[in-house]
Amino acid sequence: MHLISPKMVKTLSAFVLMCCLIGFQSATASDTTSIQLSPWIMGGAYASHYSLPRGEEEWYDLSNSAPRGGVGLNLLAIGMEAESPTIFGSIAVQYGDVPNSGWDFDLPWLQEAWVGYHLNERFDLSLGAFISPIGIETVNTFENYSGIMSVAYFIDPACQSGVQLAWNAAEDMKLTAGVVSSFSIYTLSADVPSLLTMFTYTPEEDTYTAIALLSKEESDAGEYYQLFTSLSSVVEYEHTLVQGEVDVVYTMPVGAQEPAAMVTGFAAAYVDLMKDWQTGLRVEGIYDPTGIFTDSRIVGELPYNTLSIAGVTASLTYKPTDWGKLRLDARYLHCLDDKSFIMVDPNARDRTEIVFCADVYLPLSGSE
């Protein structure tokens, strides 16, 4: 049962927009410095082939990008960022197969709508609907380095709403605490909000992040507390980018059921071949022996309550401009035990995917 209805979330979004407008006026009046507005448009289309038919389901399991097979639209998003000495914020709406297959199903069109306030040089307060900070990959496909999203992204939460307080402890160090909605929706699925903590360290061009999300969730088996922890890093060398993410999840049921744990993640390296070309290799996997996410994240009902798989993804990217790129990806997934299934209609323990993506990101001229 949702304690906050989709209608209330829409009302919250409208309220956030109103706060932005009021804050913009206040900032302009008090600071004599105009607000910088940065609108943008992002889009991504795909053509894909899977070694197995999709069956009767709408989406392929374990896939958020190119989830239908054939030709389709991954994402079309329009947004705007705002920044001033006093307030800041962002709003974006979206459409396409990525949000429709792996976002809040009540509000797949709302990517984010939030407003922030610079309390002082060290502290920032923000309120609204956010893209989840957990995980390296994002719903905005242009920002990812592989056209096929990893199985870690498939498990990671997509979005939340709530309030966050950020402490800018140093130029390259930030600590954030928040009271947010449930695991991957803008509303509450249980009777208490979730607690979010995040530590980010950004020396030079690199990024290291540690995140913990404690929430109370509901499934067909009943209510349970869930601790989702994530460690990730993005390290840049002269011609190589290395990414790594490890997520560990621990659940504590409210009742007689036993606690359970799972782990998911990936490691990837992307190498510049020449000026406009890049190639990459990613290994990824899920080890979920008790099937923590089978109720909420898997399209078809699995015959066994387990999900343990591994895979490898190869990528080739051509990026002739800063605003556009073409990518060709191939991924192979295989089960790690004799009970897990990549798909259940038809039953399959391995799968090959080939995806071609065309993505653009168009920053529009900023205005004051």
Spell out the domain ranges in the chain.
Answer: 6-31+46-363
Per-residue confidence band for 341, with pLDDT thresholds at 50, 70 and 90: confident
Which two tokens mark 88? 């800041």
Q: What is the mean pLDDT of residues 86-114?
A: 95
Which two tokens mark 92? 């974006």
Query: How confident is the model at residue 188, as a pLDDT?
Result: 80
Which two tokens mark 284? 């990824």
Does this model's pTM top 0.85? My answer is yes
Q: What is the mean pLDDT of residues 131-146?
A: 95
Beta strands in the chain (DSSP E): 36-50, 70-83, 87-95, 110-118, 123-131, 159-170, 173-180, 194-201, 207-219, 222-236, 240-253, 260-272, 277-288, 307-318, 324-335, 343-344, 347-348, 350-363
**234: pLDDT strictly greater than 80:** yes
DSSP 328-362: EEEEEEEESSSS--SEETTEESEEEEEEEEEEEEE
Query: How confident is the model at residue 204, as a pLDDT?
Result: 87
Alpha-carbon span 331 to 352, nearest angstrom: 6
Per-residue confidence band for 366, with pLDDT thresholds at 50, 70 and 90: low
Helices (H), the chain: 6-31, 97-102, 151-155, 294-297
Which two tokens mark 23? 């804050």
Query: How confident is the model at residue 187, as a pLDDT?
Result: 86
- Which CATH entry fits the domain spanning 6-31+46-363: 3.40.50.720, 3.10.105.10, 2.40.160.10, 3.40.640.10? 2.40.160.10
Q: What is the mean pLDDT of residues 337-364?
A: 92
Q: What is the mean pLDDT of residues 144-162?
A: 94
Q: What is the mean pLDDT of residues 50-54?
A: 92
Mean per-residue pLDDT over the chain, rounded: 88
Asked if residue 36 lies in contact with residue 84, where contact means CB atoms within 8 angstroms, the answer is yes
> Strand, coil or helix: what is 106?
coil
**362: pLDDT strictly greater than 90:** yes
DSSP 297: H
Highest mean pLDDT among 83-97, 180-194, 242-256 belongs to: 83-97
Asked if residue 200 lies in contact with residue 173, where contact means CB atoms within 8 angstroms, the answer is yes
Alpha-carbon span 319 to 267, nearest angstrom: 22
Pairing of strands 110-118, 36-50: unpaired
Alpha-carbon span 125 to 23, nearest angstrom: 13
**33: pLDDT strictly greater than 70:** no
Pairing of strands 159-170, 123-131: antiparallel
Alpha-carbon span 244 to 241, nearest angstrom: 10
Q: Does 346 sit behind a cis peptide bond, omega within 30 degrees of 0 on the bond before it?
A: yes
Per residue in 277-334, pLDDT (tens digit) is: 999 999 999 999 988 877 666 766 777 788 899 999 999 999 999 999 999 999 999 9
Asked if residue 100 lies in contact with residue 108, where contact means CB atoms within 8 angstroms, the answer is yes
Alpha-carbon span 5 to 313, nearest angstrom: 39
Which two tokens mark 91? 């709003």
Q: What percentage of residues in the chain have a pLDDT greater than 70? A: 88
Per residue in 207-232, pLDDT (tens digit) is: 999 999 999 887 766 788 999 999 99
